[in-house]
Structure 1
Amino acid sequence: MRTFLFQIIILLGFSFSVKAQKSPARVLIFGLDGFSAEGFHKSKHPNIDKLFADGVLSLTTRPVMPSVTMPNWTSHLTGSGPEEHGVVGNDWTLEKHTLNPLVTDAEGYYPSIFKVLKENKPNVKIAYYYNWKELIYPINKKYLDEISFEEKDGYKENHNKAFDFIVKNAKNPTLVFLYDVHTDHAGHQFGWMTPQYITAIEEADAAIGETIARLKSSGLYSTTHFMLITDHGGINKGHGGVSMNEMQIPWAIIGPQIKKRGLINDFNSNKNTSLVLAKIFGVNELPKVWTGVLPKSIFK
């Protein structure tokens, strides 16, 4: 009888081990353009609050300068500042730019987290969903498995595609970048902190809540890391300056490797995001030109 029970215990242990091995690193990034710390304080976002309640939330993360869109999203995804990656404004193109990057790949692009993952994790699957067409210009598309641009500030179809991509690739390491610009455009059209801007944040929160609910139903929620990142805040109907309303933004993360620290005031920069992603995926060899710093205190 003891031998039989011992065999059962061994089999159960093996089963749990196999299940653990079937949970590859998975990250879903929610990117909300123009979402300021001030906007966070003045809007209602119950789904974001619930999602990151047991993780890490910074409301004092600094954008890179200038506090505009393309330099900051490029910094998120390349572990570097504009002085390194060369994207200093929203008019950057591969063919026409003022500042050359420190290094490039064969096609002329600065090394992104997508390149790093593809070269170090051959079975990784990467998706990029966006609704501002210029956003992807600094990124070499050859490192992306799925790309979707949604027109007219739409975001709901990209949420659907992101969910489908995660489910389809549940057995692979997976990184999904899900970006929404309609929050930023509300700020430009109506003004930061206007009712319309606040409504845009709350709409984005509702979309996040729906995607999270679907992931919970699919059984993939508990093994997924989630990030909330943004690029800059705003003042009046613009941004690009150095006011605190433009230069303080939310940054949040939760997942199997992340501590429950709640609200933190640790120094953090948009340049750090790619280093966090590399750590989650177990990649240690990073481009020497990356200047971000890994916030080790958020990891278990």
Structure 2
Amino acid sequence: MQKISLLIMGILSLTFLHAQPPVIKHVVLIGCDGFGAYAVPDADMPNLKKLMREGSSSLSARSVLPSSSAVNWASMLMGAGPTVHGYTEWNSAVPEIPSADSSRYGLFPSIFSILKEQRPTAVSALIYSWQGIDPLIAKAATTIRVAGKDNDNFCTDTAAAIIRSKKPVLTFVHLDQPDGVGHTIGHRTPEYYKELKNVDARIGKIVAAVKDAGIADQTIILVTADHGGKGKGHGGKSLDEVQIPWVMYGPGVKKGHQLHNTIITYDTAATIAWLLKLKMPQSWRGQPVAEAMGK
């Protein structure tokens, strides 16, 4: 009898660990380039902090190394690190190491490609300020694709309009700030924190668009970054460069919860796949941040 009880308890524990999230029909991923987690506590970012208060968050999530752009955007969207997907440099446009896997679109599987393969009619939207995002995601894997040409306000307004009118299943908005200020003036400077106020306003516009579209009760909003920075650069191993914010908000997400489990940027794609009930490729190494869901 004791063995049976222990077995039942084990099954229940396993079920809890892998419990499915509520029905989520839309995910909006907001990626802020060069946004170090170190900056959040002192930043004047009421919109982001509201998402944190009403959702789950971590200020100790980590990039992959090197803590640079293309390698980390690839990892975030491809569910694996550079030794698997092959993009290893700041501005990688093609894999420097042959990718360990390939989708039907000829590139390493991304969250966009698996959505397209498994749900061909689902609308997806990719809006990006930095042009280095373009070669990472196959054009055939996206429904709507807009190059913002280094204009974050244009990207924000475009993303908001698309969310209101098209209600994509998956929307990824890449914003180039505060990375630009980090490079020109420096991290941990008054100017960097001032720019974060602008970043926060853009986040607020996108959150408002989700509400305006009438899909807030079916939408998870994720806010994160590719890397942080130190001085006027990034790419190194310091925590200022490696630690990134990771914020999850929406129906079923624990409120005011500080995430304790280790989060690596490639867990973002895995979390989105889990939320949208997509089967993850075997080559992915990310794990869903299931800790964020539940009471």
TM-score by length of 2: 0.87
- Give CA-to-partner distance per residue, 1:1-34, whole Å, 9 cap, x none: xxxxxxxxxxxxxxxxxxxxxx861111111011
- Structure 1 residues 294, 217: CA separation in 2 closer, same or farther (over 3 Å shift)? closer
- Name the residue aligned to 2:163: 166
Kept in 2, the 8 Å contact 1:56–1:264? The answer is: yes
- Name the residue aligned to 1:29: 29
Q: Which SS does the other structure have where 1:177 is aligned?
A: strand
The residue type paired with residue 288 of structure 2 is L
For 1:249 and 1:62, how far apart are their aligned partners in 2? 6
Post-superposition offset of 1:119 = 1.3
**Structure 1 residue ranges (4+ consecutive) displaced by more than 4 angstroms after TM superposition:** none
Q: What residue ranges of structure 1 are gaps of 5+ in the alignment? A: 1-22
For 2:103 and 2:275, how far apart are their aligned partners in 1? 24
Q: Which SS does the other structure have where 2:54 is aligned?
A: coil
Count of residue pairs the alignment pairs up: 272
Q: What residue ranges of structure 2 are gaps of 5+ in the alignment? A: 1-22
Q: Which SS does the other structure have where 1:137 is aligned?
A: helix
- Give CA-to-partner distance per residue, 1:35-91, whole Å, 9 cap, x none: 011111231100111123221110000111111011111111010000000000023
Post-superposition offset of 1:261 = 4.9
| Greater displacement, 161-170 / 134-143 | 161-170
| Greater displacement, 99-108 / 235-244 | 99-108
- Name the residue aligned to 1:17: none
For 2:104 and 2:211, how far apart are their aligned partners in 1? 41
- Name the residue aligned to 2:110: 112
TM-score by length of 1: 0.86
- Name the residue aligned to 1:230: 225
- Structure 1 residues 126, 196: CA separation in 2 closer, same or farther (over 3 Å shift)? same
Kept in 1, the 8 Å contact 2:24–2:275? The answer is: no
For 2:103 and 2:50, how far apart are their aligned partners in 1? 40
The residue type paired with residue 235 of structure 2 is G
Matches within 5 A, 1:10-159: 25-94=25-94, 97-151=95-149, 153-159=150-156
Post-superposition offset of 1:106 = 4.6
The residue type paired with residue 297 of structure 1 is E
- Structure 1 residues 243, 187: CA separation in 2 closer, same or farther (over 3 Å shift)? same
The residue type paired with residue 295 of structure 1 is V
For 1:158 and 1:90, how far apart are their aligned partners in 2? 22
The residue type paired with residue 86 of structure 1 is G
Q: CA RMSD in A?
A: 1.7
* Aligned match for 2:268, one of 268, 273, 294: 273
For 2:188 and 2:35, how far apart are their aligned partners in 1? 10
- Structure 1 residues 210, 166: CA separation in 2 closer, same or farther (over 3 Å shift)? closer
- Structure 1 residues 216, 296: CA separation in 2 closer, same or farther (over 3 Å shift)? closer
Q: Which SS does the other structure have where 2:96 is aligned?
A: coil
- Name the residue aligned to 1:291: 285
Post-superposition offset of 1:282 = 1.2
- Structure 1 residues 54, 289: CA separation in 2 closer, same or farther (over 3 Å shift)? same
Kept in 2, the 8 Å contact 1:104–1:111? The answer is: yes
- Give CA-to-partner distance per residue, 1:234-280, whole Å, 9 cap, x none: 11111111111111110010112422252223211101011110111
For 1:222 and 1:185, how far apart are their aligned partners in 2? 34
Matches within 5 A, 1:178-189: 178-189=173-184
Kept in 2, the 8 Å contact 1:261–1:298? The answer is: no
Post-superposition offset of 1:196 = 1.5
